[in-house]
Amino acid sequence: MDRPAVTPYDDALASLQAAGRLPSVSAAVARGGTPVWQGCVSVLPDREVSGATAYRIGSITKTLTAVLVVQLRDEGRLGLDDPLGRFVPETGYASVTLRELLAHTGGLQSEPAGAWWERVDGSSFADLVAANDGAGRIAAAGEYFHYSNLGFALLGEVVARLRGAPWWEVARTRLLGPLGMAATSYHPPADHAPGRSVDHFAHTLSAEPHTDTGAMAPAGQLWSTTGDLLRWADFLATGHPDVLAATSLAEMALPARPGTADDAYGLGLRLLGVGGRTLVGHTGSMPGFQASLFVDPVSRDAVVALADATTGLGAEEVPGRFLDAGPGPGEGARAGVPAWRPSARPLPGRVAEVLGVWFWGNTALGIEWVHGELRVRDLRSGELEDRFAPEGDGFVGVDGYHRGEILHLRRRPDGTLGHLECATFVWTRAPYDPHAPIPGGVAEPL
């Protein structure tokens, strides 16, 4: 059977995975509102994923909450300049308007008080509003843009109270149902990617929690697939008679603070300039996941990417990577750029204690474990300085200035690692005084 042709979209996805150290990444592209490509790259050692797999979408959830609020405005149930206290009188942010909450200009703090909400199961709205009484406010309303997850939890409560149903039930019946987004869910479905974080130096994977964020859910709870999110992206460009008119969506896509440095956000939608055109959508992140969804409202070209890594996706760069690509033959980056792969646990021998930040004098170096060797980078420039391979009980240089030289592990009298030495170059865990005596120790033989 012939292998499918590699397209520039595949090339872009392969480069995205390798550069971002992504355990898995799924992406899809639509042109003129029609899906034209979908791809998935995975190096997960313990889970099969595909283009139909669900990922957590983080703050893309906010775009659904924003549409629900504007939906109520179009029905005459509220005004965007109404104060929040009209609907949630017990809040400490009663004077902030719904428009300011949608545009992140209400002066609210970014996160709710208490534990990191994305990593712990959430509480009730009563508990949330009691813990956030207004004392955490960081600016006057309208003073400047300041992204607030808390603000969208408050907007979700407005929706719930006016609809007389929980926020998720309203989103499911009034948005997902009419748009045919059956693969979008509150909890992870059976076919879901596992949330993972990648150790910067060891390149090992750690599991991240799949929390139920409770009252914070309107800010970032949902799970979805690239297929469902392409439907949502096209809706943001065209509207739907049973959901929201295109004119209202166009209003949401206007800069909330035009002519300022904070003009990249509308009413619940991010605005992103790519190749001379303005895209609308949102990025998203939760522990173990990142997401990107943007659409050109004029051409209906759209890009979605979902990854199960806490960092590394470069969500704002995703649309440019794929919109600049095309359906023709690719250059084969999938074959030319090796996929990043995680390190297996446990790390061999002395590798774990050598990893991390070291200093040669006052120059910071980072030592990573990649493809079975130590890689030394200058942390200022990011340049790869040296590579060392395991040999015997230690390491020997295989590339760079120290090629062929032995990397000695110098130990303290109690056996703990004190510093590293290679051909008289001494590396310490903290910057050292070049006029002080060179640290002592006993070299470990190869």
- Per-residue pLDDT tens for 417-429? 999 999 999 999 9
pLDDT higher than threshold 80 for residue 55: yes
In this prediction, residue 338 carries a pLDDT of 86
3-state secondary structure of 256: coil
Distances (CA, A) of 399 to 95, 323, 408: 63, 37, 16
**What percent of the chain stands above pLDDT 70?**
93
Distances (CA, A) of 178 to 174, 185, 240, 418: 7, 15, 8, 63
In this prediction, residue 336 carries a pLDDT of 63
- How many of the other CB atoms lie within 10 Å of CB of 366? 17
pLDDT higher than threshold 80 for residue 438: no
Span 10-35, mean pLDDT?
97
How does pLDDT run across 256-277, given as a tens digit for each residue?
988 887 889 999 999 999 999 9
How does pLDDT run across 375-388, given as a tens digit for each residue?
999 999 999 999 99
Span 90-113, mean pLDDT?
97
pLDDT higher than threshold 80 for residue 329: no
How does pLDDT run across 346-393, given as a tens digit for each residue?
998 789 999 999 999 999 999 999 999 999 999 999 999 999 999 987
Span 16-39, mean pLDDT?
97
- Mean model confidence pLDDT for the chain: 93
Q: How many residues does the chain have?
A: 446
Give the Cα separation of 426 and 431 in Å (integer).
Answer: 11
pLDDT higher than threshold 50 for residue 70: yes
In this prediction, residue 401 carries a pLDDT of 97
In this prediction, residue 446 carries a pLDDT of 42
**What percent of the chain stands above pLDDT 90?**
87
pLDDT higher than threshold 90 for residue 439: no
Span 204-209, mean pLDDT?
96
Q: Which residue in 134, 132, 143 sits closest to 104, CA to CA?
A: 143
Give the Cα separation of 406 and 416 in Å (integer).
Answer: 19
pLDDT higher than threshold 70 for residue 435: no
Q: Which residue in 312, 248, 236, 314 sits closest to 281, CA to CA?
A: 236
Domains, the chain, with CATH or none:
8-336 (3.40.710.10), 351-443 (2.40.128)
In this prediction, residue 6 carries a pLDDT of 85
- Do 154 and 88 form a contact (C-beta atoms < 8 A)? yes
Weakest mean pLDDT among 201-205, 214-218, 286-290, 431-435: 431-435
pTM of the model: 0.93
pLDDT higher than threshold 60 for residue 444: no
- Do 63 and 282 form a contact (C-beta atoms < 8 A)? yes
Which residue matches tokens 């030592």?
A: 367
- Its sign, for the CA torsion 320, 32, 244, 248, is positive
In this prediction, residue 49 carries a pLDDT of 95
Residue 233, both tokens: 């992206």
Span 149-165, mean pLDDT?
98
In this prediction, residue 326 carries a pLDDT of 66
pLDDT higher than threshold 60 for residue 81: yes
Span 44-72, mean pLDDT?
97
